Chain A
Amino acid sequence: MAQMKFMCDAERCIDCNGCVTACKNANDVEWGIQRRRVVTLDDGEPSEVSISVACMHCDDAPCMAVCPTDCFYKTEDGIVLHDKDLCIGCGYCLYACPFGAPQFPKQNAFGERGKMDKCTFCAGGPADSKEEEYEKYGANRIAEGKLPLCAEMCSTKALLAGDAQTVADIFRQRVVQRGHPDGAWSGNPQAAADNLAYDATRQG
């Protein structure tokens, strides 16, 4: 079975926010909620770098581990989804998530947050009808054999979505092509020493 993953190639991300817009459009997300965000580090400095972030559909998802209602589940494709009928809006998933993916439509007194919303990898969620599914979770492009719209629309192909193996192969090829000593954009001497740019496609 596939293991669906997102991967953002920060050297290609130009901070255009196309993914954010595509996501909002594809999923008809509630006002005030933005399932995907673009983060820019060192904005305006020579080292400026941007990355698009949403739910990363973790293998060992912290949100699943801490949810008091146990409303999260993993699909066969490794996509982390949640049941809004079970969600009580306690906010624990937000405390635990490394990427700030879970969001709540409200932030009111007595912990009234409404139902949590997050990226579904365009895979919808549990519902009785297609209409209800779209209303609650947005598009189910996976069911139609399509990948998430954010990655499909990315103009520089910085944002990749798909089976982890395929995404990794594409990224590895790019790293080899760039000859970047540290593989991507970490500036980490250890990564350079580990020679992540090792050309796996080269024989022998």
Chain B
Amino acid sequence: MYVSNAWPGFWRAALLALALLVGLGGAPTVLAQADPDREAATAVGGVSPDTWRQVRSGETGPNFRDSRAESTYNLVNASGETWRQLRNRWVSPFGLIAIGGMIVVIAVFYVIVGRKDLSGPRTGRKLLRWPLLVRSIHWTVATLFIVLALTGLNLLYGKFVFRPLFGDAVWGAMISASKVSHNYLGPLFGILLIVLLARVLKHNWPKKHDLEWFKQGGGLVGKGHPDAGFANGGEKLWFWLLATVGIVVVVSGFVLDFPNYGQGRDTMQWANIIHAVGALGLTAVALGHIYIGTIGSEGSLEGMTTGYVDETWAKDHHNLWYEEVKDQAVSEQQISAGRPPPDDSEEAATRS
């Protein structure tokens, strides 16, 4: 039994040995047949053009991995160069042209045409135009607008002027202060702008006579004074610019100002371009608004400082409004005595 049991075991061992021998002998042959160069050339499949299109699109594919924590950034930020070119080649120079051009146009206009004087002597009787609340909001918004415009301009152009002028220490403090005030005052401006727009909306609904007002160039040139209600065509245009472009600037500013909500790089690129174009445009138009409201026309500024305008001014610039409220005119003595006119209320001043 021992022998008969041993034989199959022997054969098994022998076969195993033979198999091992063949295996050992054969393996090097197989390895030797491989061509290392050929293998190197074919081992890596290579990323397909589709993958590159995916990379360029800015969106990451399902099999995209990035070792950086919480990174949603693609391999290549393809839109970055577009943003750079738009900002540096278009927004920057054309913003300067818009604002510089506006200053030149206003200066030339002032020199040639000069201030728009009242058509006759002041009557000394005053009409309430802007109640205290509107004046307060207006000047707050105006101050914020100027601060935001100056700091914004500094962020776009300051490095070309102030860094070589003042050196790094002053420039560093200056640009840092610009960014901080721009970012913290911006939202405040946005909120107050909406409050102001809501407050004066009722004066600014377009009317048929506004079209005529624009056809006559607002009467800024020449002698004539086209019809106008409480707000003339130009004021309404400024209102609606702020109500559209202004809101767009505010909203895009919020997108840029609050990265904590995790909006992407691409979103912020577009928000930045929209913000810059809108803000530069509004700054240019604001120069016109400031000009007309101050040195550009006699008797306008006092409406927004004291709240009252002279009857002559009202007749000149807002004849339709004057017709409505002329019976509410008060004398200067009454105002300086602190005695309010018969009904010093918003409704009385702005009934239309």
Q: Which A residues form the contact surface with B (CB < 8 A)?
A: 11, 15, 17, 20, 32, 34, 37-49, 51, 53, 62, 65-70, 83, 85-86, 88-92, 94-100, 107-113, 177-182, 185-188
Contacts and interface: CB of A to CB of B under 8 A. Distances in A.
B83 interface: yes
B348 interface: no
A109 B40 CA distance: 51
B258 A109 contact: yes
B141 to A, nearest CB: 19
Given A85-B172, A86-B172, A95-B269, A39 B65 contact: yes
B98 to A, nearest CB: 19
B77 A97 contact: yes
Given A20-B67, A86-B171, A100-B71, A111 B259 contact: yes
A200 B338 CA distance: 94
B48 interface: yes
Contact of B63 (A43, A92, A113): A43
B166 interface: no
A53 B46 contact: no
Contacts of A20: 67
A100 B46 contact: no
A186 B68 contact: no
Chain B interface helix/strand/loop/mixed: helix
A96 B83 contact: yes
B179 A91 contact: no
B41 A47 contact: no
B37 A179 contact: yes
A62 B84 contact: yes
A85 B169 CA distance: 9
Contacts of A51: 75
B76 A99 contact: yes
Please report whether the interface of chain A is mostly helix, strand, loop or mixed according to DSSP: loop
B265 A94 contact: yes
Given A65-B88, A68-B155, A178 B41 contact: yes
Contact of A111 (B40, B45, B158, B179): B179
A15 to B, nearest CB: 8
Contacts of B259: 91, 107-108, 111, 113
Interface string B166-181: 0010011001101110
A83 B169 CA distance: 12
B64 A41 contact: yes
State the 5 A-B residue pairs at the shortest beta-carbon distance, nearest first: A187-B46, A47-B45, A100-B73, A40-B65, A37-B68
A34 B48 CA distance: 28
Nearest to A32: B69
A91 B183 CA distance: 13
A186 B41 contact: no
B48 A187 contact: yes
Interface residues on B, range: 35 or more
Contacts of B46: 47, 49, 182, 185-187
A69 B159 contact: yes
A41 to B, nearest CB: 5
Contact of A69 (B40, B52, B175, B272): B175
A81 B183 CA distance: 26
13 contacts: A20-B67, A34-B68, A37-B66, A40-B64, A40-B66, A41-B47, A47-B45, A68-B159, A68-B179, A70-B163, A86-B172, A91-B259, A187-B47
Best-surrounded residue of A51, A96, A188 (most CB of chain B within 10 A):
A96
Contacts of A38: 66-67
Contacts of A185: 44, 46-47
A20 B268 CA distance: 27
Contacts of B172: 69, 85-86
A62 B45 contact: no
Contacts of A97: 77, 80
